[in-house]
Amino acid sequence: MSIPVPGKWDARFVGPVPHDTSYYAKCMLGGVLACGVTHAAITPLDVAKCNMQVNPQKYKGLVGGLRTLVAEEGSKGIWKGFGPTFVGYSLQGMFKFGLYEVFKDAYANLVGEEASQKYKPAIWLAGSASAEVFADIALCPFEMTKVKIQTSPAGTFPISFGAALSQMSATKVETRYPFGSIVPLWSRQIPYTMAKFLFFEKIVQLFYTHVFTEPKETYSKGTQLGVTFASGYLAGVVCAVVSHPADSLVSLLGKAENKGKSAGAIASEVGWAKLATGGLGTRVIMIGTLTGLQWWIYDTFKATMGMGTTGGK
């Protein structure tokens, strides 16, 4: 970590604590906790959502879909894909949150103090998009495996984590494993993450400008974390709508009938209206709650480490 030059503005040293290597490493660990734990915890919702996307005739709603899965496969049917979900999203969270802090500081220093203050939303967007490119590369093999486990008819594909990875590797010519879904994944996750960070930062800013008008540090940690969760939940609702068509496409790529088809061909067959609306209600609930909890866990970890919560005026 370079030493700041006296008199020269540096984005890494304007917050409550210096953004040194230790700070970025802690942000990465916070991202692991925020994303890995939350995504794994809502595996049943994810299983139902994916099956509603690939087989809407059979799985017509969240509750009905879960009942069908339990009736046909037992309770284990709604926890399919837990392993790759936990590992994949832990890695994704590590790069998403950790590299966001790195890129945000780097871009702010690149444009300078005045421009970084004037164009904060652009810095947030650029930082989150850059971080997500790397986060999705880490996630992709596990996301492909998760979708295949969750959407394959019972008995046609291994459910256990290790066996599923082996099968994906053995059939990589057909499945295009490990990075066959990277473009649809980028199409889903980059807009999602840009919305997630932009709207979160903006909503937090609005809270501390119009609701909690005293300096942020004068409020209790409980109040600050309440603002974090509310801002994260509202941002998550926007994220779900923005990224849903690409999310549907990622799920459909794992369907056996679509083996070998390009993303464009599948989109043309299904239609953009169905891609945008199939399973959307479930995903809004899932992503709103998920995003709120992720930001709450991340900021709770940061606050515990003495790093302060994210965002403000």
Where are the domains positioned within the chain? 14-304
**Which residues 6+ apart lie within 8 Å of 267 measured at CB?**
249, 275
Sign of CA dihedral 157, 162, 163, 164: positive
Percent of the chain with pLDDT over 90: 64
DSSP characters for 238-291? HHHHHHHHHHHHHHHHTSGGGTT--HHHHHHHH-HHHHHHTTHHHHHHHHHHHH
Kindly tell me if the per-residue pLDDT of 5 is higher than 60. no
Quickly name the fold that domain 14-304 has: Mitochondrial carrier fold (1.50.40)
| 2 pLDDT tier (thresholds 50, 70, 90) | low
The size of the chain, in residues, is: 313
Largest CA distance in the chain: 68
Of the candidates 242, 214, 240, 212, the one whose C-alpha atom is nearest the C-alpha of residue 228 is 212
**Which residues 6+ apart lie within 8 Å of 176 measured at CB?**
none
The token pair that represents 154 in the structure block: 């019972």
Of the candidates 191, 194, 3, 164, the one whose C-alpha atom is nearest the C-alpha of residue 85 is 164
Mean pLDDT of the chain: 90
Q: How many CB atoms lie within 10 A of CB 37?
A: 16
| 273 pLDDT tier (thresholds 50, 70, 90) | confident
Distances in Å between the Cα of 134 and the Cα atoms of 35, 38, 90, 220 are: 15, 20, 13, 35
Q: Which residue has the tokens 């939940």?
A: 233
Mean pLDDT in residue range 242-267: 76
Predicted pLDDT of residue 312: 82
Kindly tell me if the per-residue pLDDT of 258 is higher than 80. no
Rounded CA-CA distance 210/226 in Å is: 15
